[in-house]
Structures are given as structure tokens and as C-alpha cells.
Amino acid sequence: MSQGPVPATILLIHGAWAGGWVWDALIPELTALGRRAEALELPGNGHHPIGVNEATVPDYLACLREALQTAPGPVALLGHSGGGMLVSAAMAHFPDRISQSIWLAGMLLDDGMTFDRVQERIAGPGQRIGVTPRIVAAADGRSNAVPVEAAMAHFFQDLPEDTARAAALRLTPQPIAGYRIPVTRGPGFAALPKLYIQALQDRSVLPEAQRIMCDGVPGLDIAQLDAGHAPQVSQPGALARIIDDWLPS
């Protein structure tokens, strides 16, 4: 179990190409365990008022600030995949509202580190892993997308085929600004309770990449799920229990 106050809210931050819908199965599981959870919609995701070609890094930070100010606190943050960068950003910019931070197969990057460099440590200079080589850039270079078949194979392979296809069809283009959120570990990073949930069957953020990002992180607890990239969709009950067990009651 983590230290710190009991969170009044768990703020769920989706990753690239997804939206708040990706948490639909997890929220009732957390509710049944007595936890209040709220899904954030990020700029440019197709469900937020700011469009995909208008989203900027300041828009992401403003979205975080508003959510942290309006949600009942203290707030535990949970970021999935690319949403992990926003967990780190929130810890640096708005530490007073955050009680615990959780990364779910997420981007837990050190200052100055990029996921490209993590990929190169695994595959070699200039090489990419997982779904990255299959990403399709928009003609104007301001966003990109993942084809349905690639999303099914890399994000949702542990779901029944019809469920995986339905989830893949809900994905939307991702603003390039979502990759440019500065990663800075503030002075309170080491002391804040932190949990990384590794997805052991992940074909996008490969398990080796998750281990690299966890190595040497001060005060980091680690849990594991034998799941693909999106356990909140494929194993929401098991994921909810890990979160509930770790958070203070």
C-alpha cells in the first residue's frame, strides 16, 4: 500500500489516439471498490472542444490544471501509455493537488529522455518498436493515426476479435503536440508515492521498454498484469484491484 492521504478522486488520463471512453469498463470496477474515478478528455482527441489541428502543449497543461482544480482532492493520477507524460508534467507543475501517481504501461521518462531513445536502446540506432513503425502521419504533419488492423494487433490483441475491432475503430488522430510535452521531474518527485503497472503482453510499449523506464526511479512500486497494452479494457476488474490495494484506504 502507498503512503500519503486517501485520494478523493482518481483522475484517469488516456494515451495517444484514445479518449475518456477507454476507461468505461474500469470506472464501475473502481466505484464498486469505493473509489471515485473521473476520466479526462485531452485536447485534440476528438471529444474535447479543442480540435486535433489546434491542440498545443499549453492546452494540455491548461486541461490538467482545470481538472486538478475542479476534481475533489486529494487527487491520484493514473496515466496510460502516452498519458504517462501528463502524469509527470502534472507532478512538476501542480504538485500540491496530487497525492499519488500511477503509470499504466505508460511513459515514465527521465528529464531529457524521449521514448525514441528508449526504443533505440532496445532495437538499435534509428530503429522503432511496437506500433511506432505503423503510425501514419497526416499530410500536413500536425497529427498522426494508427490503422485499425495495427491497433488490433498492438493494443487490443488480448480481446475477442469483435471487441478489439470496435475499440480500434474508436481511436482518433493524435495531435503531434501530445508528443512534445516537456518531461521535468520536480523537487517532490522522489517523495511522492508512485506505482508503475507493467503489462506483460504489451505489443506497443514492450515489456522491455517498461522495465527500462522503471529502472532507477526513486520510490517506485511495481505491479504486473499478464495483459496487453490496454488492461483497463481487457482486465478492468484485475486492474481495479491492483489500484485499490495500492492506494491508501
Q: How confident is the model at residue 147 (pLDDT cuts 50, 70, 90)?
A: very high
Q: Cell 471512453 sits at which residue?
A: 21
Looking at the chain, the whole-number percentage of residues with pLDDT higher than 90 is 87
pLDDT number for residue 234: 98
Q: How confident is the model at residue 211 (pLDDT cuts 50, 70, 90)?
A: very high
Domains of the chain, first to last: 9-246 (3.40.50.1820)
Q: How confident is the model at residue 178 (pLDDT cuts 50, 70, 90)?
A: confident
The count of other CB atoms within 10 Å of the CB of residue 93 is: 16
pLDDT digits (tens, 9 = 90+) for 10-38: 999 999 999 999 999 999 999 999 999 99
Q: Which amino acid is at 85?
A: M
pLDDT number for residue 49: 92
Q: E strand or H helix at 157, and its extent? A: none
Omega prior to 182 cis, within 30 of 0 = no
C-alpha cell of residue 161: 476479435
What does the mean pLDDT of the chain come to?
95
pLDDT digits (tens, 9 = 90+) for 81-95: 999 999 999 999 899
Backbone angles phi, psi at 22, to 5 degrees: -65, -15
